[in-house]
Structure 1
């Protein structure tokens, strides 16, 4: 083979090698192009997915500067992509989370999940759940923050907590939250020796309003009561600072018309008494609900830690016991718990059972106290007063058992029984030829608001044939002011029958001149508290004189009760009081002795 042929073959091999290299280069270029196209498509798809995600996604570098933000993040914060690029991650929160949470160290904690408060471009604050991940990329690392707006979740949680721990009507803490706060107060008191007290509050006469006017009116009244209680606490604290600036309170509604008040860090019983007095005064003022004026009051029991109990159950029970003692003493009072009350409570339970039996065994008896017209001192009427001839305790006065009757619900049937006995006694006296006199009967709160009083009076008068003018019904201010509108309607029906109506204990409640003008009354009774020192106390004298003048201006007769001294009688006679009753003339006596008094007055021509 010659030299030329060798060169030609070498050239052919080189040509083929170049061609193969070109083919391989073209193939690699095509592969690279395809790879670039795939990467671009994947990046576009990734961006599309990030834009579609409902959670906010932010990326930022080690300097905190925002590098990217998806659509959800832009909507959440209100920033444009350009505006985001000018922000640091810490500027998106108020306050900013700890730096360790925003810039986690991969050697210790590569990922944090925290709750934070974010701030939008327009200054709106909203809660977010924040998760930060540190991701390694070519040339370094970036932080990826995922944000979830938990505003709706937080609102739902707050609603659940509101339902679980707060009263839906008054928005006060409920029993569950109160008992939890009470347990916390006990733990704190044990640790720091801080005394505190529990007040148990129960509204007086609320059930009558609820039963008479309905639950809608009752609920609206409860909301107003809650408002006044809150105001009483704020008012007293602002005036007295109740011990220290660290004083705190929890007012709760346990249910129905029962409220509790926890006062912590109280240094003096005077602070408790001052607040209690403010509550009593504020709840005495009439309420106005749906155009109606309603009068209630509150009975308050107080238990002190640790003297009256070292656990929540005992403290609440003893405060409740003290509250019932306040009701037994006439309501509208604040009473501190004493250990003797437990024995009293047990005794009262036994007395209630005995009173139920007494009604059926005939142990109750009606006594009568005469009323005299002055100056003639002529017997013109009697007041009926119930007594209990107890087989072991002897003759019991109303103050010893009527509170039990009121608390147990026996006062209703007991009052009806007295009404029937009085009418039958009037009928009997007339049958014996005695001159007719008016006999007054005290109407109980439960009896008046039962809805059956008018019907009961009509039935008894019909059965006995007694002249309605001989029956006088004594109503207290508290009874008629509890629901003025209903009281006026009922009194009008009784007046239409011919029954005589008098307002008892006048001057001790909230009735006003406008109410007196509207009530169809015949008589006004001056409470014995104003008569006691009438000849010596200028204030009592002024009050009694005003009552007499007011009554006469409205054509009402005036009756003074509790007259025990001659100087009281002379003063009343000088001020033209119409009738008097009291121990100066006679104590309440049995029906037989009352009959002798009627006979004696007739024989003397009085």
Structure 2
């Protein structure tokens, strides 16, 4: 190419790249004819080098390399580009030929540019691409990309295995086409949320290439390129097995294992739903509680196996005589509940006669006839009645049932206000509890929790007790609810915390090691963030470690105010204390929310332990709970262990820790100290030993 070199030199001095103009000599060497200002600045060159050759200016190694590059330009008549990485920076040089009128290369223009930053960006991008490739290709989760219309654009190998189809087969398919029909509206909504810039998580059922239904846990994130959302990322995990296991356990935990009827917890849920429906349809509702009279005597006389057969037969008779729209459940050992809608008084009368007829004919077990009676209590949720809570309705029916028992058993009673001694009892307890707190009448007893198999004491559960001067022992099941409804629970809780912390500190001073104190916490204490501050303050005051304290929260408490409770639980876990979910398996939503809760330990409710020796379904539920807990790295504690047979089965099933009257009842701190702290701390607690 021909050009006016003078004009070029003027231009070259205005740019930020180093420019050299080299002439091609007859002897094949290359002579500096021009260097611009930038080359002088960057390489400390001067005009003294003009007229000199490359060999005169640079060292032998550099001259050899540069001469070779310049000769390549002359021999090929094409531009040559090379990179120099020998210094702390990276230079890219472009050699362009200048031809004479005969088309011969007479000059070469060299432009050298600092591309250090650009090269670093290229390398960073390359490394980023490699990391993304590794994450994408080798991730066990299925990862895919969708365009704005939901069509697949990429799918990693794990995703191909999950769906049973390759990305080539899915190129013209939308993600919505893979999901079950009932989930399509939800998927569309979730994709739109991601396209609007948010991250979403949800569960969806898909059909793979073989038509197999799979449940996936999906996370969608917006795909942003140049500040614009161009599609959606998808991260998927197959949770089919886990979900089915959770559903099975949740179903079993809501069912009575002996009769397969709904249990007490599930009947409360059903009663709530029935009350809502009755109100909307403007009809009445009857809640009937049936309790078999003297069943414990019968059970003890004929044995548990035959007793179970009797209970199952009662359940069968109830289900057989009642319409399908009625709810029937077993809510206690020998107690049943029926929820029955009705519109006319005669309907209720007929229903109650049917309930009594269940016990009108004998029960024949192994050729032996048994005549049973039952006390029946009834309460009505009538048209136009202001809504009352499920607990009150249940208690009303139970109070009516107990009134039947007081009347001579085998009777039927309707609830009325005269039975409502409960409110008077609550008022009495509230006044006396205030006095007890002022006079320091509450006590804390301790029950050891042992490692299954070795019987070594791992921790102590603190249990508040109240001895009243005229009433005697008043159980926490009676006064704690009163404390919660009156706000006294904060004073009770503060007393228990101080007592437990002081006791544990004293035990540690006496030589106890590796022992944890387990303390029950009320739902009222978990609302707000006062409890974490109190725990932190008490830990510092008594010089205790956070991991030496375990807080127990019942499952039903969590579900009363899930979000607020979870927030406080997260604060407590961040503090370092251990958290335990008590009465596990009896709550409203046990398995579906367990993975969202920050617990270390679950305490399997005693109701699942009581029948484990002779009931296969109870043992199946127990096994499933332990298996799921192990998979989630949770410690399992079986509470309410009362027999050697129960303990043996619990060890066989792999429960981690145990507690119950089989080992010892809860006792005051001084009795713990007298037996445990005075002995060898490494010595396991002996079976059948009582504090």
Q: TM-score, normalised by structure 1?
A: 0.48
- In proportion to residue count, which structure has more helix? 1
Bigger Rg, structure 1 or 2: 1
Higher RCO structure, 1 or 2 (CA under 8 Å, sep 6+): 1
